[in-house]
């Protein structure tokens, strides 16, 4: 098992989630009047299905309706509370929290960490002595973050997390923002630690990119949300290089802060629970453990007007989830284990691309 690995129960759920698209869908709102009766709830469910183009056969619809009904009521009741974050009914509305976790965040990073052994990368932490950090950082505003992407029904969060960090440091060093290929990592990084839609480690993906001589663009090697054979011709068309990678000292949010002040950082979190599934806005202070099962990237930090410290985290569940695809997570409490498995790429030189051994694709 690995980061974002789809466990066996998740395979049976593919039919449930096939209706989810990759494009932006406007938020779906509901009101108190929609919850007053079974009929009104059924009508709401049908409207929701139409809105998200979620297809169900009749037997499945009745089963899913009961899940949907529970989720709607929970969202409605929670949003009445005076909490620093809100929930919303999104495209995952008729999945239980267990089903959702199994499909979209269903792995244990511990297994791949055990396979890999001691945390690798450089033994040093280049930002250890950094001082006088700014009170807030947002790499999106600095032009170092691409648009939010959607991993779909593939346990490839590790690839998306890796790519955010590489895109970020490349823009910081070259002033050019290039959207890079997660699919290349899914198809071509076939080390013991990384297994495509069955999960992986960001640390190992950085090592693959360095060893491979770079990574190609998303445009050249587009995302397909499924495992495939490595297209070596496309993969050899390197666009961005890195010089190595480092691990942030474990469970150390002060160290993570120093790293994020200098570049976007790949992290692993425990994304379990209904509140993560339906997170909408605000600073997430909800319950979660530290069983790392989902790869994301920290692209900034800040403090709200009422003094709540947060991390700005880029997810890979599409732009409709959360705050346009992002979540602000409470900072200073190692929320969801965010500081347990943080890593980042090193890039000190401009891109040095080796010429591919073949000039054209042999058909």
Clarify whether 315 is annotated catalytic: yes
Kindly name the residue from 188, 198, 294, 336 that is annotated as catalytic: 294
Rounded to a whole number, what is the largest CA-CA distance in the chain?
Answer: 67
- 49 and 145 assigned to the same domain: no
**Where does a domain end: 68, 102, 136?**
102
- 64 and 196 assigned to the same domain: no
Q: What is the pTM of this model?
A: 0.89
Residue 353 lies in a domain: no
- 96 and 189 assigned to the same domain: no
- 231 and 268 assigned to the same domain: yes
What is the distance between the alpha carbons of residues 131 and 230, in angstroms, rounded to a whole number? 43
Kindly name the residue from 157, 188, 288, 336 that is annotated as catalytic: 157
- 93 and 121 assigned to the same domain: no
Q: Which CATH number belongs to the domain containing residue 340 in this structure?
A: 3.90.70.10
- 49 and 71 assigned to the same domain: yes
- 120 and 140 assigned to the same domain: yes
- 121 and 90 assigned to the same domain: no
Identify any residues that bridge with 283 across adjacent strands, giving them in sequence order. Answer: 328
List of residues 6+ apart from 50 with CB closer than 8 A: none
- 133 and 98 assigned to the same domain: no
Residue 356 lies in a domain: no
pLDDT tens over the chain, length 363 residues: 566 753 333 333 433 443 443 334 456 788 777 787 899 899 999 999 998 888 778 888 888 999 999 999 999 999 999 999 999 999 999 999 988 888 888 555 656 666 666 655 557 899 999 999 999 999 999 999 999 999 998 989 999 999 999 999 999 999 999 999 999 999 999 877 788 898 889 999 999 999 999 999 999 999 999 999 999 999 999 999 999 999 999 999 999 999 999 999 999 999 988 999 999 999 999 999 888 999 999 999 999 999 999 999 999 999 999 999 999 999 999 999 999 999 999 998 777 665 444 444 433
Q: DSSP letter for 56, please.
A: -
What is the distance between the alpha carbons of residues 69 and 170, in angstroms, rounded to a whole number? 45
- 203 and 287 assigned to the same domain: yes
List of residues 6+ apart from 205 with CB closer than 8 A: 158, 159, 162, 185, 189, 194
pLDDT score recorded for residue 295: 94
Clarify whether 294 is annotated catalytic: yes
- 96 and 231 assigned to the same domain: no
- 131 and 272 assigned to the same domain: yes
Hunting for tokens 């929290």 — which residue is that?
Answer: 97
pLDDT score recorded for residue 26: 55
Q: Which CATH number belongs to the domain containing residue 36 in this structure?
A: 1.10.287.2250
pLDDT score recorded for residue 112: 64
**Where does a domain end: 76, 102, 128?**
102
List pLDDT tens digits, range 124-174.
Answer: 899 999 999 999 999 999 999 999 999 998 989 999 999 999 999 999 999
- Residues 65 and 38 sit within 8 Å (Cβ to Cβ): no
Clarify whether 157 is annotated catalytic: yes
pLDDT score recorded for residue 8: 31
Residue 145 lies in a domain: yes
pLDDT score recorded for residue 255: 98
pLDDT score recorded for residue 349: 75
CA distances to 56, 277, 294 from 270, rounded to whole Å, are 30, 12, 6
Domain assignment of residue 91, given as a range: 8-102
pLDDT score recorded for residue 294: 93
Kindly name the residue from 194, 198, 245, 315 that is annotated as catalytic: 315
Residue 3 lies in a domain: no
pLDDT score recorded for residue 111: 63
pLDDT score recorded for residue 114: 65
Identify any residues that bridge with 70 across adjacent strands, giving them in sequence order. Answer: none
Residue 300 lies in a domain: yes
Residue 362 lies in a domain: no
Helix (H, G, I), strand (E, B) or coil at 45: helix
Residue 361 lies in a domain: no
Residue 354 lies in a domain: no
Domain count along the chain: 2
pLDDT score recorded for residue 34: 76
């Amino acid at each position: 098992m690995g980061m974002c690995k789809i466990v066996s129960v998740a395979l049976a759920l593919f039919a449930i989630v096939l209706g989810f698209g990759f494009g932006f869908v406007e938020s779906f709102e509901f009101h108190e009047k929609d919850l007053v009766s079974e009929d009104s709830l059924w009508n709401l469910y049908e409207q929701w299905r139409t809105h998200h183009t979620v297809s169900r056969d009749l037997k499945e619809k009745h089963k899913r309706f009961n899940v949907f009904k529970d989720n709607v009521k929970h969202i409605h009741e929670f949003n009445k509370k005076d909490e620093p974050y809100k929930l919303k009914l999104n495209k995952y509305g008729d999945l239980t929290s267990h089903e959702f976790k199994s499909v979209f965040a269903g792995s244990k990073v511990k297994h791949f960490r055990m396979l890999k052994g001691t945390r690798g990368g450089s033994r040093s932490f280049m930002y250890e002595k950094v001082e006088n950090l700014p009170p807030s950082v947002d790499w999106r505003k600095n032009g170092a973050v691409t648009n939010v992407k959607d991993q779909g029904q593939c346990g490839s969060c590790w690839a998306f997390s890796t790519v955010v960090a590489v895109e970020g440091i490349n823009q910081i060093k070259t002033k050019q923002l290039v959207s890079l290929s997660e699919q290349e990592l899914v198809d071509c990084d076939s080390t013991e630690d990384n297994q495509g839609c069955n999960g992986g480690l960001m640390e190992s993906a950085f090592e693959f990119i360095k060893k491979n001589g770079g990574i190609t663009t998303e445009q050249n090697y587009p995302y397909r949300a499924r495992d495939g054979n490595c297209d070596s011709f496309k993969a050899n068309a390197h666009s961005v290089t890195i010089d190595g990678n480092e691990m942030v000292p474990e469970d150390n949010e002060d160290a993570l802060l120093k790293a994020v002040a200098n570049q976007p950082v790949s992290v692993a979190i425990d994304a379990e629970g209904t509140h993560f599934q339906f997170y909408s806005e605000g600073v997430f202070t909800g319950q979660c453990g530290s069983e790392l099962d989902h790869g994301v990237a920290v692209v900034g930090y800040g403090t709200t007007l009422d003094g709540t410290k947060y991390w700005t985290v880029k997810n890979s569940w599409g732009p409709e989830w959360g705050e346009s695809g992002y979540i602000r997570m409470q900072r200073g409490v190692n929320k969801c284990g965010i500081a347990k498995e943080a890593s980042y790429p090193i890039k000190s030189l401009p891109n040095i691309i080796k010429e591919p051994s073949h000039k054209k694709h042999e058909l």
